[in-house]
Structure 1
Amino acid sequence: MQTTWKASVMAFLIPISFLPSRTLAQAVPAKPAAPNIIFILTDDLGYGDLGVFFQSQRQKKGDNLPFQLTPHLDQMAATGAKFTNQYSNAPVCAPSRASFITGVNQGNASVRDNQFDKQIEDNHTIATMLKAAGYSTAAIGKWGLQGETKEEPNWPAHPSKRGFDQFFGYMRHADGHEHYPYEGLYRGKKQIWDNYTNVAEGLSKCYTTDLWTAYAKKWIVDHEQGKDAKKPFFMFLAYDAPHAVLELPTQAYPKGAGLKGGLQWTGTKGGMINTASGEIDTYVHPDYAAATYDDDQNAATPELAWPDTYKRYATANRRIDDAIGDLSQLLKDLNIADNTLVIFTSDNGPSIESYLPKGFVPFSPEFFASFGPFDGIKRDVWEGGLRMPTLASWPARIGTGKTIAAPSMLSDWMATFADAANIPAPARTDGVSLLPSLTGKGKQEAGQVYVEYKEGGRTPDFKSFEESRRGRKRDQMQMIRMGDLVGVRYQVKSADDDFEIYNVVTDPKETKNLATDPAYQKIQKEMKEKVLQGRRVDAEAPRPYDQAAVPASKVSKAISPGLSWQFFKGNFSYVVSEKGRTAEKKGASKLLNPAALTAPEGMVLYKAYFKAPQDGTYTFSLQTKGKAYVRLHEAELLDADFGYASGKEIFTTVRLKAGYHPVKIYALQKAGKANELMLKYKEEGGDWSSLSNKNLYFVK
């Protein structure tokens, strides 16, 4: 006879006595004021495109190779920090951007592969998190995660439905291929949305890099001079350059910068910004207009002029650089620079997918070595496709000229922004806070670096790339980094395929495959296990290893039946991550349930090992009166947090190897209210069983 859900719940209530009844007053040092946050994301800008990362090295070699100049970004690095080992979450824009916004890697993401314009999930985003903390929020530029609908502009995942107070920009992915929206010079007319209104008709001669910059400046000024001036703000500024059509601005960047100079929003139809005049697609930066280079590396032969294609590319990047200088000066003029955290980065490696007028030399990232000291470009999981040119500025908290070499991902910024804003990150977040690395205070937690992606093309046949990967077919790909070692798989056929293994610290170009060395067989096995333990199956992005059973973990210490628990006191509106938080109290229990009726307010985190008795398919279910979240290894198992309907039973199925599998169970509790959490499982063809000391074990 099956017991009712409530009867089962009451049987698993944890005794009140194990939870703290009061908290002793402690002297807590005042936390810094929450900063303004500006996250600047470029489109297809390579690690090697910035002076501070690679172009300055080319310039200093003295062999007359073509090089680009990025003085403002170089200055940002000199006065702040640069990340030399930060990765995008995917080697193409939509999944990379979605992972940044949601704080989850591609093993747990809902937007994967080439799912352009797919609806980003209705869950925690950086914007919803910061908005709940009192931030004003804005998204400007390229979105491409709205979900397709015939009822535009009522897209299911419009930025306003994902936490942004204001959106101004391109909604569709493909619109971002054109940088003159009104004229549609090479890719046809496009739509620019001011929240739910298409305003493209008033944007003649508006080059999008200028347009987004001018609007961003206007929004910041309006915020600082408006009714919400006391609120901190978060801005997601997503440039659509240098990707796609290599179009030129109308004129030189306006003189000056900041509040009174540089780009300005005029608000006049037909001249909406102060560069919306002159002739479109004509201005070449004077540093490149007459540039020459030694094409054959022979000093005895004449140098050649740069092809117009590369003058365009360098000008587009220089325009972004000028915009960063302009925005930086604005923050100073408004006296908010010291407590504004500014991040500059890209969404993936450099591209060959550039659209040009007829007769132009085709674009190749080889000309400037935009991929830097690596192999691979956009759509590759080699370092050149994933390593990002990331900079950070926060004068009040970050020292000058700092280099951060610890591996990280774009999905770490959600946890970082939460930490900076003095709020907890959602438990769903895969990332870790990078604040210790940025500020030099506290211990930096190691994060996850994992990428999976499918692409039908090939790695380009560039002479500068290793011969073994020139023209190499991609198909299903994976990349994982563990310490200094990176594992890469192309054309993955099964979970048993070996990784190529490279030490990317001593061998950034990935020339020596260590997988052939018997000494690396242990790490080979660990990589194969970790890529299965850190992901959940997504039917819309099928993988050849989806049906592989998740390996169990080795448990070297003595274990006992039951669960260990940690209690975190607080008035949380969502299920929070324990990372960076100190537990109020710890203990162990034989029973599973987070609270008694008189328990204090906060969150209980259970840790245990679920013992799978045999290889097979297991279905888990979760039902709660409050909010909860469950992880299995590093993968999301069950999410009853954001948008969860109280009391609804949710299910998921996974294939497991026999043995012990680590589980984390997060559950919120409100003062005086029992959460009534019920977590069950069954084997294929078997009966349901509650998770308890009969199948859960913890390390003493």
Structure 2
Amino acid sequence: MLLLLLTLIFPGFAQTSDRPNIIFILVDDLGYGDIGVFFQNERKALNDRSEPWIMTPMLDKMANEGAMLTNHYTAAPVCAPSRASILMGVNQGHAHVRDNQFDKEIGDNYTVADVLKSVGYETIAIGKWGLQGKGEAPNWPAHPLKKGFDQYFGYIRHGDGHEHYPVEGIYRGSKEVYEGYEIVKGLDKSYTGDLFTAKAKDFIISHQKEKADKPFFMYLAYDTPHAVLELPTQDYPAGGGLNGGMKWLGTPGHMINTASGEVDSFTYPEFANATYDHDKDPNTAEVAWPTTYQRYATVSKRIDDQVGDLLQLLNDLEIAENTLVIFTSDNGPSEESYLPKEYANYTPEFFNNFAHFDGIKRDVYEGGLRTATIAYWPSQIKAGTVVTSPSISYDWMATFADASGAFAPIRTDGVSLLPSLIGKGKQAPSEIYIEYFQNGKFPNYSEFLDSHRGRKRGQMQMIRKGDMVGVRYDIKNQEEDFEIYNVLIDPQQGNNLAVENPALQKDFKSTVLRSRIADLSAPRPYDSALVPALELGKVEKGLQMTTHQVSSAWIPAEIGKAISKQLVDFPSVEKVTGKGNLVLWQGYIKIPQGGKYTFKADRKESHFFMRIHDIAVLDGNFETTNSPEGSVYLEAGYHPVKIYLLKDDATPQLELSWKFEEGPMEMISSEFWFR
């Protein structure tokens, strides 16, 4: 009877497309240790009254019915660069937004939304953005509607996301919520976590009424539990999904069904009445949790309720089976609570939000980067799946492309995680590389190792291969060694294995240089370090040229088997004789003298891309009318190269040039190409 009723209400009800809906839920500053099944349940089981805990039943249920990714990393330990890498599918060595570049434009290239939109997805971004660039509102150069999203609702500016009541502005003043390019009026008493949930539900319900045969992609970026730790107006509405929970009313002054009562007033009773053994003496009376931690627990449980509400809606609409939902955080836990002076400052020590790791937000030890990540897709992901293989947040572009049948662009540094999630196919290893700069110091928490506490952050790097992680803090030059840890058996990173692993040390130092390109807006002390050449045996003159047939509007990351193969002296379109619209030249470029090389590609309105090692040296895949240039510091010797040209024009052209240091630009002749 319910199915019949829903079918009448929603024409085309129960989506039949084999392309899943995709919901990417990104929360702000939630630590790996905040989620029950990842850590808090363990604290509860110990029943140490001096170590309080938070329960997350809805997220636990989601994890138990889906997959837990226990070795998943964020691309950066702070929000703006982390989000930029997610949306663009690249590591921080290739991202346009790095370090603390809040409100910088995300860059002109393909986003996850562009990729999914190319195969027919309706796209919407809800919540915190912070990647819009300079300009007068609302004409920002990187507004979400200019970056592949059909709809947008939320906070554009990074700083607005510190305040969870747009109108009342309890701690940081009133803020602006945008719907598209227009400021939304009448958001009185609208707690943002509730507001964004209500809007998300409203979109899904409307979509199923009007476009049920079309898949959708939702980027749902909450601004909680980050920043001010403001409380909701009231308890979470009973029920969930179609029959309860959050509701979008759309009436100015009463936009959602919790926009009433007292702002910043509601604490869940289990936290308001909670006590703990503050002095670790069971013979003395317990005391109430400090108000600050009642607030944090309430904000976190609210997220749990909101996610449970959304999942219930998917079930009520009978689209859960064909919807892939990802839940993750942008970085590790924060101590930045922005509370009034009458409240104690928040510290992750109270709940150990960093779990068994050392580090918090802005650190590149595990606590700042490891994120509690859940994937839910009932028809494809087996309940109780635990993915232990390492992965990173810029893998999601390739994963979503794989799930939807779209083409991830060649620029992406990520790999599809679908084989690990659904248990089919061979999982390619993730390339986990992170760089970041911050002038602060490592927290002086008693739970952290003495060797870490108080050390300067400065320029930092992290790389992981298998179970081994390399970390560098306060880097002054490329010659400095990585600390090396086996994080499988040493998650707190206390046993530095660098001395025992000289070969791995050399590999880490080489790999980080082969995985990034310098950005003048985020200078690094290793920017001008020479990328090591390969030690090769016998080589021959020329390159291997193959042609491929692709149906993508851009050069895709996966190009399939070659249609034709031939040997050529140098990259030239005139030499192409085989069928196919994509040409790939690969082999080695011989660098005659170590130093700075600037490459340039002149082409005729064709998609073009060139990698040296894993460095995206020339990217003409998004903008096809310019002549892309890129500079990289190379050691003398042989360096692997891949050059791609998508023949969009009937008479394509290509000329590759280079210059050494500040010398003249000249064509790269055949004497420098090898295979």
Structure-2-length-normalised TM-score: 0.95
Using the alignment, how far apart are the partners of 2:645 and 2:27 within structure 1? 38
Measure how far apart 1:453 and its partner are: 0.7
Choose the corresponding residue for 1:449, options 428, 432, 437.
432
CA 1:328/1:582 → structure 2, altered by over 3 Å: closer, same or farther?
farther
Indicate the SS of the match to 1:342: strand
Q: Work out whether 1:542 is the aligned partner of 2:523.
A: yes
Measure how far apart 1:688 and its partner are: 4.9
Q: Which residue of 2 aligns with 1:26?
A: none
Q: Which residue of 2 aligns with 1:73?
A: 59
Q: How does 1:76-115 map to 2 (within 5 A)?
A: 76-115=62-101
Q: Work out whether 1:53 is the aligned partner of 2:38.
A: yes
Q: Deviations over 1:121-173 (max 9, x none)?
A: 01100011111111100000000000121x21111110000010001000100
Measure how far apart 1:586 and its partner are: 4.4
Choose the corresponding residue for 1:592, options 564, 571, 574.
571
Q: Which residue of 2 aligns with 1:373?
A: 356
Q: Which residue of 2 aligns with 1:260?
A: 243
Structure 1 residues 257-266 or 615-624, which shifts more?
615-624
Q: What is the one-letter code of the residue matched to 1:499?
A: F
Choose the corresponding residue for 2:633, options 636, 642, 655.
655
Q: Which residue of 2 aligns with 1:525?
A: 506
Using the alignment, how far apart are the partners of 1:685 and 1:196 within structure 2? 45
- Please say if residues 570 and 673 of structure 2, whose CA atoms lie closer than 8 Å, have aligned partners that are also in contact: no
CA 1:572/1:267 → structure 2, altered by over 3 Å: closer, same or farther?
same
Q: What is the one-letter code of the residue matched to 1:184?
A: G
Q: Work out whether 1:274 is the aligned partner of 2:257.
A: yes
Measure how far apart 1:611 and its partner are: 0.7
Choose the corresponding residue for 2:652, options 672, 675, 678.
675
- Please say if residues 104 and 428 of structure 1, whose CA atoms lie closer than 8 Å, have aligned partners that are also in contact: yes
Using the alignment, how far apart are the partners of 1:685 and 1:455 within structure 2? 32
Q: Deviations over 1:612-653 (max 9, x none)?
A: 0121222211011211111111111011111221xx433222
- Please say if residues 596 and 674 of structure 1, whose CA atoms lie closer than 8 Å, have aligned partners that are also in contact: no
Q: Work out whether 1:345 is the aligned partner of 2:328.
A: yes
Q: Which residue of 1 aligns with 2:13?
A: none
Measure how far apart 1:575 and its partner are: 1.1
Measure how far apart 1:598 and its partner are: 7.5
- Please say if residues 563 and 580 of structure 2, whose CA atoms lie closer than 8 Å, have aligned partners that are also in contact: no
Q: What is the one-letter code of the residue matched to 2:637?
A: G
Measure how far apart 1:61 and its partner are: 0.8
Q: Which residue of 2 aligns with 1:20?
A: none
Q: For the aligned residues, what is the CA RMSD? A: 1.7
Q: Which residue of 2 aligns with 1:14?
A: none
Q: Which residue of 1 aligns with 2:197?
A: 213
Choose the corresponding residue for 1:204, options 163, 188, 197.
188
Q: Deviations over 1:646-680 (max 9, x none)?
A: xx43322222111111111111124x824322212
Using the alignment, how far apart are the partners of 2:584 and 2:260 within structure 1? 59
- Please say if residues 563 and 693 of structure 1, whose CA atoms lie closer than 8 Å, have aligned partners that are also in contact: no
- Please say if residues 234 and 261 of structure 2, whose CA atoms lie closer than 8 Å, have aligned partners that are also in contact: yes
Choose the corresponding residue for 1:194, options 156, 179, 186.
179
Q: How does 1:24-173 map to 2 (within 5 A)?
A: 33-64=18-49, 65-149=51-135, 151-173=136-158
Measure how far apart 1:687 and its partner are: 5.5
Measure how far apart 1:686 and its partner are: 5.2
Measure how far apart 1:584 and its partner are: 4.0
Using the alignment, how far apart are the partners of 1:186 and 1:446 within structure 2? 44
Measure how far apart 1:691 and its partner are: 4.0
Q: Deviations over 1:44-98 (max 9, x none)?
A: 0000000010000100012122000000100111011011111111100000000
Indicate the SS of the match to 1:477: strand
Using the alignment, how far apart are the partners of 1:321 and 1:650 within structure 2? 46
Q: Which residue of 2 aligns with 1:247?
A: 230
Using the alignment, how far apart are the partners of 1:261 and 1:233 within structure 2? 23
Using the alignment, how far apart are the partners of 1:685 and 1:197 within structure 2? 48
- Please say if residues 88 and 387 of structure 1, whose CA atoms lie closer than 8 Å, have aligned partners that are also in contact: yes
Q: Work out whether 1:179 is the aligned partner of 2:164.
A: yes
Q: Which residue of 2 aligns with 1:604?
A: 583
- Please say if residues 596 and 673 of structure 1, whose CA atoms lie closer than 8 Å, have aligned partners that are also in contact: no
Using the alignment, how far apart are the partners of 1:255 and 1:190 within structure 2? 29
Measure how far apart 1:603 and its partner are: 1.8
Q: Which residue of 2 aligns with 1:565?
A: 545
Indicate the SS of the match to 2:81: helix
- Please say if residues 682 and 688 of structure 1, whose CA atoms lie closer than 8 Å, have aligned partners that are also in contact: yes
- Please say if residues 597 and 674 of structure 1, whose CA atoms lie closer than 8 Å, have aligned partners that are also in contact: no
Using the alignment, how far apart are the partners of 1:439 and 1:565 within structure 2? 35
Measure how far apart 1:107 and its partner are: 0.6
Q: What is the one-letter code of the residue matched to 2:114?
A: T
Choose the corresponding residue for 1:615, options 564, 577, 594.
594
- Please say if residues 487 and 502 of structure 1, whose CA atoms lie closer than 8 Å, have aligned partners that are also in contact: yes
Q: Deviations over 1:91-115 (max 9, x none)?
A: 0000000000000100111100000
Measure how far apart 1:595 and its partner are: 7.0
- Please say if residues 213 and 263 of structure 1, whose CA atoms lie closer than 8 Å, have aligned partners that are also in contact: yes
Measure how far apart 1:597 and its partner are: 8.1
Instruction: List structure 1 runs of 4+ shifted beyond 6 angstroms.
Output: 595-598
Choose the corresponding residue for 1:574, options 554, 560, 582.
554
CA 1:160/1:61 → structure 2, altered by over 3 Å: closer, same or farther?
same
Q: Which residue of 2 aligns with 1:684?
A: 661
Indicate the SS of the match to 1:514: coil
Structure 1 residues 33-42 or 619-628, which shifts more?
619-628
Q: Work out whether 1:295 is the aligned partner of 2:278.
A: yes
Q: Sequence identity, in percent?
A: 55
Indicate the SS of the match to 1:331: helix
Measure how far apart 1:229 and its partner are: 2.7
Q: What is the one-letter code of the residue matched to 2:527?
A: D
Structure 1 residues 242-251 or 563-572, which shifts more?
563-572
- Please say if residues 412 and 432 of structure 1, whose CA atoms lie closer than 8 Å, have aligned partners that are also in contact: yes
Using the alignment, how far apart are the partners of 1:240 and 1:585 within structure 2? 51
CA 1:692/1:571 → structure 2, altered by over 3 Å: closer, same or farther?
farther
Using the alignment, how far apart are the partners of 2:632 and 2:158 within structure 1? 33
Using the alignment, how far apart are the partners of 1:584 and 1:444 within structure 2? 26
Using the alignment, how far apart are the partners of 1:262 and 1:588 within structure 2? 64
- Please say if residues 414 and 430 of structure 2, whose CA atoms lie closer than 8 Å, have aligned partners that are also in contact: yes
CA 1:511/1:583 → structure 2, altered by over 3 Å: closer, same or farther?
same
- Please say if residues 623 and 677 of structure 1, whose CA atoms lie closer than 8 Å, have aligned partners that are also in contact: yes
Indicate the SS of the match to 2:585: strand
Measure how far apart 1:692 and its partner are: 5.6
How many residue pairs get aligned? The number is 658
Using the alignment, how far apart are the partners of 2:566 and 2:448 within structure 1? 55
Q: Which residue of 1 aligns with 2:10?
A: none
Q: Deviations over 1:413-449 (max 9, x none)?
A: 0011111111221001110111111111111111211
Indicate the SS of the match to 1:447: coil
Q: What is the one-letter code of the residue matched to 1:650?
A: P
Q: What is the one-letter code of the residue matched to 2:100?
A: N
CA 1:112/1:570 → structure 2, altered by over 3 Å: closer, same or farther?
same
Indicate the SS of the match to 1:104: coil
Indicate the SS of the match to 1:453: strand
Q: Deviations over 1:472-531 (max 9, x none)?
A: 11111111112111111111000111111111111010010111x2x3111111111111
CA 1:686/1:186 → structure 2, altered by over 3 Å: closer, same or farther?
closer
Using the alignment, how far apart are the partners of 1:520 and 1:328 within structure 2? 46
Measure how far apart 1:298 and its partner are: 2.9
CA 1:660/1:206 → structure 2, altered by over 3 Å: closer, same or farther?
same
- Please say if residues 452 and 478 of structure 1, whose CA atoms lie closer than 8 Å, have aligned partners that are also in contact: yes
Choose the corresponding residue for 2:459, options 463, 473, 476.
476
Q: What is the one-letter code of the residue matched to 1:54?
A: F
Q: What is the one-letter code of the residue matched to 1:424?
A: F
Q: Work out whether 1:697 is the aligned partner of 2:665.
A: no
- Please say if residues 598 and 673 of structure 1, whose CA atoms lie closer than 8 Å, have aligned partners that are also in contact: no
